[in-house]
Structure 1
Amino acid sequence: MKWPESMVLRCWDSLKYIIWSTPNVVPSEDEIKRFNECALPFGISYWHIFPPTRTCINPACAHHSSRHAARPLKEPMTYKATLFTLRDGSLPIYTTSLYCHGCHTRYYHNYSIHKQTLTQTYYGGVPNVIQVAQHYFMEACLLELITTGKVFGWLSATNWAHIYNTGLAHLQRYIVNNPTAFSNVAWQSSRSSHSTNWFFLYSLLLDKAEHHWQLILGHDMDSQPKRLTEALMERNHATEGVGQESYGHACNVCCHIFKSDDAKMVKLHAAVCDGIQIGHPCCAVHDCKSLLVSHTAHHCKEHQSLGSVCAVTGCNAVRETGFHTCTIPQHCEAEQAYYEKGTAMFQLRAHLKRAGITVPADSIGASEIEDIPLDDTATNNRGCNNKSSSKSGHIKGSFSHNVTHTQLFFMRPCRIILSQATLFGSEAISAVLQAVHATFPTPESTPEYLFYDTNCKLLAPQHYNHDTHFLHTGQPIDVFHFKSKHKESDVNCQMYCNPAAFLELMQEGKWRLNTSICEQMNIWIGGYQAILQNMEVTRFNFYMDEDHMM
């Protein structure tokens, strides 16, 4: 307003008590714009972010606020940043940190950093504004909206960035998106970007706040993703086996208590198990569970030497420079066919083949014709032997890193997820049985019924090894899989796993439980395939846990 300083001081003396006692006033877009036009050149912004304290909060510090010698924090450091809001779009802001000379700690908006230990300690709780990268802040209410969209809309961080940039970053978004229709209105474009780690940081802060803990990260690392990894791994380990928040859940949908025909009280608490073929990158050696050397590597540290060997299964020859195979012609052709399958031309030719349309002989190679599956459903015709009815004589090899085979879920019929497990090489019965024992580690924790689509195979090693852990657990096969994939001639399957043999599962001619709940959940989980397919293992496991716990 170009007033003299004496006028500003007199106005402040007269109005300061009224200003501080006035309820929050929501400024208009024009008021925010005009304020920033005047304030930004002076290092001030409409939303200037400071630490939540002006004195040291470390009880062991001589400058602690509870002591008589409490001193204000010094050495302000200010730099420019961007704040992403839900109501006001993206805003240019300044953020300032302060320093305590008593304990050598610098205080930022969300956390403090100790100079000697280089630990990044968050203050506790979930702040209204969260720093997701050095120069980027996001409102918690915006983070919650985006998280909800990720859970129910399968939206990736990239897609959310596009949505925000297009629809929310600028207050006059309807003008920005329709410049022709509003050609007589002047506007200024606003672009923004997001760190993809905001989801993990926000989820960690929520988890720590729920347990009344503080999030502590190492600050001696060169990037936010590396700082978060250790905390994410800690959370992943805590949720394994019986660690899910809703592990002890019981309700009228998944647990039934009733009188039997002989007037005895019966409890029927069930669990359902099934897997979905969705996974994360892993070592190219079959069923190897060791971590990759790096996210883009093909092998773990133990098998790293195999990177110089031909990728074709069973061939130990040295690979040719620039290729994944040796000089054997058939192996070179296999590698070429592998990469051709990703081309548009190969896919179009495959469509012609399936449609029965003849094409000129010189337009498609013989190896391509052999590799086109004539019947996509042939590999799914499994009986009680759990083996494919089709055989393949094609050359097999690994021309990239492997992806874990199956993500196994244990659920209550009411949609509550008890646990999950990663099966690396295959859905082997031994691996499934190990996951079952981890989910129900004591006989007291076992359910009255456990449904699994190949329970007839799961029971075999239990009977052979005289395993009585699940002695009081019925192990039928869910109705859908039993009708479609199990033979009537298999006596053991019919005796132990036919759901009709368990009369208490029926009530007035209807099934008491939804035993297809995992199949229904798999449809939902499948929507995350594009987001998860190349995600690093720690974030993959954390993402899977967080999304089904929302």
Structure 2
Amino acid sequence: MIPCCLYSSVAPPTISKTLASHELLATLSFEDVLAFTSRASALKRDIMLPQLQTISGNVPPDILPPSICEFLQLSTGLTRDTVAACWHAFKEIVWGMPSRNELAAQHERAFPMGGTPPQGVSAQACANIYDSALSMRDENQLQDAGWQFGFKLKNEHIWDTFIILALTEDCDRCGVLLDVPNDGAQTHRFPAAMQARNERIVYEGQPELRHYCDTCMWTYWNDDGSARKVQVVVTDGLSMGRPCCNVFQCRNPLSNNRSRFCWQHLNEGLDNICAVVDCDMPVLPGWKACTLPAHQEMECLHGEKMRTNFQATKRLQKMHAAQPNDAMVAQQ
């Protein structure tokens, strides 16, 4: 599908005539033209960066920088000569295409809130929706060209994007820069920034707490002249709390959400002590309970309860409309 910005620049018959008139371009499809023009348009600033100051930014340069040419060659699968021919043929179209911000504004107007993925969709479902509807790319060509990145979106990408977006928007509101390490595992780069944000909200509160208007708050006057207010509170009815160390009032973070103790109490060997309150006996290998039959039975009942709750949740989900993630799995 050719975007509206490409249609507005030149009619499809003109594109076909341009492709047919050049030997190197004759075998290109509309999808190839779209891939080249959209990516080249996103790199207009990079294209102008090494140009002479005497060259106006209102017109495209005659020759692409070598780095841009190599990128377009690897990302589109075209040869170097074909990339140069595409630039010569379509550079006016590329230069007339809207910027990222303008294109995002067009998409926002074209796809109102009703066109976005519904709330409650999991990260994996969002990735599946993108891969099936928007990606549609053959990664074999990239791998053959030695390109290290692919088009497949993963669950981790969704969560990383959510965290980065939340942190950058928070820093923008506070007028500060987001400072995170550039090295190390991705999962270890953001906890410090997230903790600083959470601590600031604990001490200062969220901006929404200070909001009030005639829609969300009503004021009533009593007969004695005093006033009282009523505000709306929205809740989902769940109180899950947060994962924390099993030692009372311990504030140390867990290494992951499945751990029972923080690193300090793990080093003290508390993970090898029976999980039953007030029992100091060591656990059996593979158990969280000690050798007492009553404590082992308690662990078995707890595990059975968790499995029963999980199965009940699955049955309730099947009674409702299929989730996008489930639908993707069923089709595969």
TM-score, with length taken from structure 2: 0.52
User: 2:164 aligned with 1:201, yes or no?
Assistant: yes
Indicate the residue corresponding to 1:218 in structure 2.
Answer: 181
User: 2:281 aligned with 1:327, yes or no?
Assistant: no
Indicate the residue corresponding to 2:16 in structure 1.
Answer: none
User: How many angstroms apart in 1 are the aligned matches of 2:126 and 2:164?
Assistant: 16
The letter for the 2-side match of 1:160 is: C
Indicate the residue corresponding to 2:211 in structure 1.
Answer: 249
User: 2:127 aligned with 1:165, yes or no?
Assistant: no
Deviation, structure 1 residue 260: 5.1
**SS at the partner of 1:268?**
strand
- Maintained 8 Å contact 1:257/1:268: yes
Give the paired residue count: 230
Taking a change above 3 Å as real, the CA distance of residues 201 and 252 of structure 1, as seen in their structure-2 partners, is same
Indicate the residue corresponding to 1:230 in structure 2.
Answer: 192
User: How many angstroms apart in 2 are the aligned matches of 1:79 and 1:333?
Assistant: 65
Taking a change above 3 Å as real, the CA distance of residues 322 and 250 of structure 1, as seen in their structure-2 partners, is closer
Deviation, structure 1 residue 242: 4.1
**SS at the partner of 1:203?**
helix
Deviation, structure 1 residue 256: 4.7
Indicate the residue corresponding to 2:270 in structure 1.
Answer: 306
- Maintained 8 Å contact 2:32/2:76: no
User: How many angstroms apart in 1 are the aligned matches of 2:230 and 2:278?
Assistant: 44
Taking a change above 3 Å as real, the CA distance of residues 218 and 329 of structure 1, as seen in their structure-2 partners, is same
Deviation, structure 1 residue 284: 2.3
Indicate the residue corresponding to 2:121 in structure 1.
Answer: 155
- Maintained 8 Å contact 2:261/2:271: yes
Deviation, structure 1 residue 92: 4.4
The letter for the 2-side match of 1:218 is: P
Residues 317-376 of structure 1: per-residue CA shift (max 9 Å, x gap)? 1111222222222222322333334557x979xx9xxxxxxxxxxxxxxxxxxxxxxxxx
The letter for the 1-side match of 2:164 is: L
Identical columns (%): 23
Larger Rg: 1
User: How many angstroms apart in 2 are the aligned matches of 1:281 and 1:340?
Assistant: 21
User: How many angstroms apart in 1 are the aligned matches of 2:228 and 2:43?
Assistant: 55
User: How many angstroms apart in 2 are the aligned matches of 1:311 and 1:331?
Assistant: 9
Deviation, structure 1 residue 307: 0.5
User: How many angstroms apart in 1 are the aligned matches of 2:120 and 2:130?
Assistant: 16
Indicate the residue corresponding to 2:89 in structure 1.
Answer: none
**SS at the partner of 2:180?**
strand
- Maintained 8 Å contact 2:220/2:229: no
The letter for the 1-side match of 2:153 is: S
User: How many angstroms apart in 1 are the aligned matches of 2:278 and 2:70?
Assistant: 59
- Maintained 8 Å contact 1:310/1:316: yes
Deviation, structure 1 residue 229: 2.2
Taking a change above 3 Å as real, the CA distance of residues 311 and 259 of structure 1, as seen in their structure-2 partners, is closer
User: 2:246 aligned with 1:318, yes or no?
Assistant: no
User: How many angstroms apart in 2 are the aligned matches of 1:78 and 1:278?
Assistant: 52
User: How many angstroms apart in 2 are the aligned matches of 1:145 and 1:227?
Assistant: 34
- Maintained 8 Å contact 2:221/2:228: no
Deviation, structure 1 residue 160: 0.6
User: How many angstroms apart in 2 are the aligned matches of 1:206 and 1:247?
Assistant: 18
**SS at the partner of 1:303?**
helix
TM-score, with length taken from structure 1: 0.34
User: 2:232 aligned with 1:268, yes or no?
Assistant: no
Deviation, structure 1 residue 312: 1.8
Taking a change above 3 Å as real, the CA distance of residues 337 and 211 of structure 1, as seen in their structure-2 partners, is closer
Taking a change above 3 Å as real, the CA distance of residues 343 and 296 of structure 1, as seen in their structure-2 partners, is closer
- Structure 1 unmatched runs, 5+: 1-21, 56-73, 82-90, 95-126, 130-138, 172-189, 352-550
Alignment of 1:479-490 (within 5 A): none
Deviation, structure 1 residue 32: 4.2
The letter for the 2-side match of 1:162 is: N
The letter for the 1-side match of 2:119 is: G
Deviation, structure 1 residue 282: 1.7
User: How many angstroms apart in 1 are the aligned matches of 2:306 and 2:291?
Assistant: 23
Deviation, structure 1 residue 159: 1.0
Partner residue of 2:202 out of 229, 240, 253: 240
Whose helix fraction is larger, Structure 1's or Structure 2's?
2
Residues 73-120 of structure 1: per-residue CA shift (max 9 Å, x gap)? x99699979xxxxxxxxx9469xxxxxxxxxxxxxxxxxxxxxxxxxx
Whose strand fraction is larger, Structure 1's or Structure 2's?
1
- Maintained 8 Å contact 1:217/1:228: yes
Indicate the residue corresponding to 1:508 in structure 2.
Answer: none
The letter for the 2-side match of 1:268 is: R
User: How many angstroms apart in 2 are the aligned matches of 1:197 and 1:26?
Assistant: 38
Alignment of 1:98-497 (within 5 A): 128=100, 153-170=119-136, 192-194=152-154, 195=157, 196-219=159-182, 221-256=183-218, 261=223, 264=225, 266-270=226-230, 276-304=238-266, 305-343=269-307
Taking a change above 3 Å as real, the CA distance of residues 34 and 291 of structure 1, as seen in their structure-2 partners, is same
- Structure 2 unmatched runs, 5+: 1-5, 13-27, 51-64, 78-98, 138-149, 316-332
User: How many angstroms apart in 1 are the aligned matches of 2:32 and 2:194?
Assistant: 39
Deviation, structure 1 residue 316: 0.6
- Maintained 8 Å contact 1:256/1:267: no
Deviation, structure 1 residue 238: 2.4
Question: Which structure exhibits the higher relative contact order, with contacts defined as CA atoms closer than 8 Å and separated by 6 or more residues?
Answer: 1
Residues 401-453 of structure 1: per-residue CA shift (max 9 Å, x gap)? xxxxxxxxxxxxxxxxxxxxxxxxxxxxxxxxxxxxxxxxxxxxxxxxxxxxx
User: How many angstroms apart in 1 are the aligned matches of 2:261 and 2:251?
Assistant: 11
